[in-house]
C-alpha cells in the first residue's frame, strides 16, 4: 500500500497533447524538482500545498467511478512521488484505463518504461526560457515510443532553432510525436506557424492549450 499526495482530481478534456479535446481524468500530485519561469501550477509544487492522501486503490476507484477511460497523471512532477511505480503498476493491470504521465524531462523514465503495459509519456524538453534547460536528462529520448510525445514550450521564436536541433539530433520525429507550444501570452502562435512553414518542418506540430481558451487561464480544476 502506497500513499500519494493528490492536490487535485477532476474530469475535463485534455487541453494539449496527442489526445487534446478528449475527456480525461486528471490526477495532480504534489511536488516538483524544477522552478520553470512560466510555470502555471507553481502552487502545486511546494511541500506546503494542500493535498488529499490517497492510496493507489482509492485513486483507481475514483477513476473508475468517472466512467472516463483516459487518465493524465500530472503535477508538479509526478515521477518524484514516492512509490509512483506502485501506482503505475496498479494502473497497468486495468484493461479499460489508458494512462498518460506528464513529466518535466529531468527525471529518468527508463525504469518506468519497462513496466508491463507502461503509460504513455508526455516528456517536456525545457528550453532556455524556462531557466531549467541544464536539468534535462537526454538519456530519456531512447525510451520513447510512438505513443509518447516530446513537448517544447517556447518563450520566443528564436527557441525554435533549438527545437529543430534537438529533434534532428535525436531523431525524435521518427520515434514519437513532437509538439511545440507557446508560453501563454508571451509569444504569438502565428509566428510559430510562420517558422514551421519557412523551415518546412512537416514533422513538428503546433499545439495550443485548449483549456486556457475555453476557461479563464488561471482557473483550476479544468
81-94 pLDDT per residue, tens: 999 999 999 999 99
3-state secondary structure of 206: strand
For range 150-171, the mean pLDDT: 97
Residue with C-alpha cell 473508475? Answer: 64
pLDDT of 218 over the 90 cut: no
Within-domain flag for 209: yes
Assess if residue 17 is contained within a domain.
yes
What does the alpha-carbon distance between residue 201 and residue 60 come to, in Å, rounded to a whole number? 40
pLDDT, averaged across the chain: 94
- CATH number at 35 reads 3.20.20.70
222 domain residue, yes or no: no
Q: pLDDT value at position 51?
A: 96
C-beta separation of 95 from 68 below 8 A: no
* Model confidence at 220: pLDDT above 90: no
pLDDT at 190: 96
Phi first, then psi: what are they for 176, rounded to 5°?
Answer: -155, 180
> Does residue 220 lie within any of the structural domains?
no
pLDDT band at 16 (very low <50, low <70, confident <90, very high): confident
Task: Note the pLDDT of residue 105.
Answer: 98
The three cell numbers of residue 139 are 538519456
Lowest mean pLDDT among 36-45, 92-101, 139-148, 152-161: 36-45
Residue with cell 513496466: 115
Within 13 A of 141's CA, how many CA atoms are on the CB side?
A: 18
Domain annotation covers residue 152: yes
For residue 219, tell me if it sits in a domain: no
User: Cell 500530472 identifies what position?
Assistant: 74
221: in domain: no
Place 30 in a pLDDT band, splitting at 50, 70 and 90: very high
Say if residue 222's pLDDT is above 80: no
Would you say 199 and 164 are in contact if contact means Cβ atoms under 8 Å apart?
A: yes
CA angle 179, 175, 172 (to 5 degrees): 55
Q: List the single range of 19-28, 42-51, 55-64 with lowest mean pLDDT.
A: 42-51
Q: Detail the DSSP E strand segments found in the chain.
A: 3-13, 23-29, 52-55, 70-74, 98-103, 120-125, 149-154, 177-182, 205-206
Residue 166 lies in a domain: yes
Mean pLDDT, residues 140-148: 97
Contact between 79 and 4 (Cβ < 8 Å)? no
Average pLDDT score over residue span 195-212: 93
The model carries a pTM of 0.93
Residue ranges making up the domain that contains 181:
3-214
Q: Considering its fold, how many domains does the chain have in total?
A: 1
- Position with higher pLDDT, 211 vs 88: 88
Q: How far apart are CA 98 and CA 71, in angstroms?
A: 6
Q: For residue 214, name the pLDDT band (cuts at 50, 70, 90).
A: confident
Amino acid at each position: 500500500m502506497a500513499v500519494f499526495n493528490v492536490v487535485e482530481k477532476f474530469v475535463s478534456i485534455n487541453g494539449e497533447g496527442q489526445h487534446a479535446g478528449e475527456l480525461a481524468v486528471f490526477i495532480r500530485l504534489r511536488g516538483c524538482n524544477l522552478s520553470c519561469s512560466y510555470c502555471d501550477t507553481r502552487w502545486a509544487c511546494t511541500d506546503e500545498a494542500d493535498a488529499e492522501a490517497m492510496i493507489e486503490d482509492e485513486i483507481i476507484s475514483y477513476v473508475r467511478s468517472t466512467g472516463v477511460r483516459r487518465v493524465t497523471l500530472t503535477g508538479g512532477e509526478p515521477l518524484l512521488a514516492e512509490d509512483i511505480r506502485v501506482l503505475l503498476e496498479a494502473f497497468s493491470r486495468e484493461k479499460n484505463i489508458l494512462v498518460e504521465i506528464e513529466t518535466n524531462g529531468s527525471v529518468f523514465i527508463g525504469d518506468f518504461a519497462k513496466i508491463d503495459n507502461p503509460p504513455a509519456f508526455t516528456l517536456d524538453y525545457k528550453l532556455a526560457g524556462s531557466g531549467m534547460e541544464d536539468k534535462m536528462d537526454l538519456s530519456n529520448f531512447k525510451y520513447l515510443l510512438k505513443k509518447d510525445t516530446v513537448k517544447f514550450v517556447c518563450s520566443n521564436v528564436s527557441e525554435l532553432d533549438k527545437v529543430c536541433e534537438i529533434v534532428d539530433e535525436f531523431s525524435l520525429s521518427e520515434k514519437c510525436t513532437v509538439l511545440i507550444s507557446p508560453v501563454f501570452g508571451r509569444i504569438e502562435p502565428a509566428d510559430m506557424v510562420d517558422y514551421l512553414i519557412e523551415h518546412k518542418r512537416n514533422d513538428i506540430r503546433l499545439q495550443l492549450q485548449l483549456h486556457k481558451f475555453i476557461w479563464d487561464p488561471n482557473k483550476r480544476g479544468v
